[in-house]
Structures are given as C-alpha cells and as structure tokens.
Amino acid sequence: MIKIIGITGSLRSGSFNTALLRAAKEMAPNNVAFEIETLKGIPLYDGDIESAEGIPETVITLQEKIAAADGLLLATPEYNNSIPGVFKNALDWLSRPPSATARVFGSRPVAIIGTTPGGFGTVLSQNAWLPVLRTLGTHPWFGGRLLVSRAHQVFNESGEMVDEKVRKQLADFLIGFVEFIQVNDKVQK
C-alpha cells in the first residue's frame, strides 16, 4: 500500500484546495492510502520560541506523518502571485531543526496541485515552490501539472468536484504521481 499525505495550504474551512484534496482522496487508486492534513495549529515561526520551547507538538506530529509517507501532495493556493505565507511558514517549521530536514523531506516524492477562483490556476505559486522543494531535498514530480482555475465553477457549494473534465485531469495526475512514487521507491532500494 502506498501512503500519500496531502497537505492543504489554506486554513479556510471552505477552502477550494482542501476540496481538491478531498476529491484526490476519493479518486486515489486502490493501492493508495491517502491522508489529508491541514496547517491549523502551527504557530508563526519564531527562533526564540524554538530555542525556549522546542518544536511545537503540531509540527512534530506532521513531521512524523510526512516521514512515514511514500509521497507528499501539496495543494497550494496562490496569494499575490506566490506561495501562501501560512504554507511557507509551516515548511519553515517542518524543516526544524535542520538535522530533521533530510529525514522528513530528503528524496521524498512530491507533487504540487492547486486551484483558485482566478483564470490562471496556481501557475505562479507552483513555480515559486520549486526552489523551496529543491532546498528541502525533495524529489519533485514534473510529469504532470494540475492548475485548476475558476474553482467556484469546479466545486459546488458543498465542496464536491462537479467538473468532469477536471475530475479526469485529477485522476490522471494521481495515476502518474503514484507511478512516480513506485519508481522512486525501487530506485531508493
């Protein structure tokens, strides 16, 4: 069984990116255990807090889940043409202490998806992730790209994906990412 952790980069309860992950979980291939995680409870990064109190428990819990996963799927909104601050802040915590970075992220297969009400999907946000993922030592999958625009037309009021074309794109994306994880696993062994 392949384990994928999907992390939503939005704290909003009605987040389109969380809805995108729920759809991904529903459509994941049968050989995939898919878990969705949020960034709720992760404080703003502060080196003084880290020195005085250590790594917050919410961060440690998420670090362990990522480290135990075969793949990481980031569902990123796009704020001001880049990575949402809350998402980048979480990654800053998750890479602490520096000695944990390789265990949590090193060579981990990662894919990025995203949706927005705007017309260009999350292309600039996804591009902005690349130097971060490189720095963390991940193994990004470049075999597919999912940029969902006009999210308010793709999801209904209950957060269910109703656009069949996007459903097919997401299903194909997931198949490709799972194949990438399997190949990566064979290479690592």
Q: What is the CATH number of the domain that holds 16?
A: 3.40.50.360
CA distance linking residue 73 with residue 34, whole number of Å: 10
Number of domains within the chain: 1
Count other Cβ atoms within 10 Å, centred on residue 38. Answer: 20
Give me the pLDDT at residue 187, please: 66
Could you tell me if 4 and 32 are in contact, meaning their C-beta atoms sit under 8 angstroms apart? yes
Could you tell me if 125 and 80 are in contact, meaning their C-beta atoms sit under 8 angstroms apart? no
Mean pLDDT, residues 132-145 taken together? 95
Which residues, in sequence order, are CB contacts of 131 under 8 Å at separation 6+?
none
Give me the pLDDT at residue 21, please: 98
Which residues, in sequence order, are CB contacts of 67 under 8 Å at separation 6+?
103, 104
Give me the pLDDT at residue 144, please: 87
Q: How many CA atoms lie within 13 A of 82 on its CB side?
A: 7
Structural domain range at position 141: 2-188
Give me the pLDDT at residue 119, please: 87
Q: Are strands 109-115 and 71-75 parallel, antiparallel or unpaired?
A: parallel
The alpha carbon torsion through 101, 186, 129, 30 (nearest 10 deg) reads -110
In the chain, the amino acid numbered 130 is L
Could you tell me if 146 and 170 are in contact, meaning their C-beta atoms sit under 8 angstroms apart? yes
Location of structure tokens 């997931």: 174
Query: Which band of pLDDT confidence, cut at 50, 70 and 90, is reported for residue 15?
Result: very high
CA distance linking residue 18 with residue 142, whole number of Å: 22
* Mean pLDDT, all residues of the chain: 95
- Checking if the pLDDT of 189 tops 60, the result is no
Give me the pLDDT at residue 186, please: 67
Give me the pLDDT at residue 156, please: 96
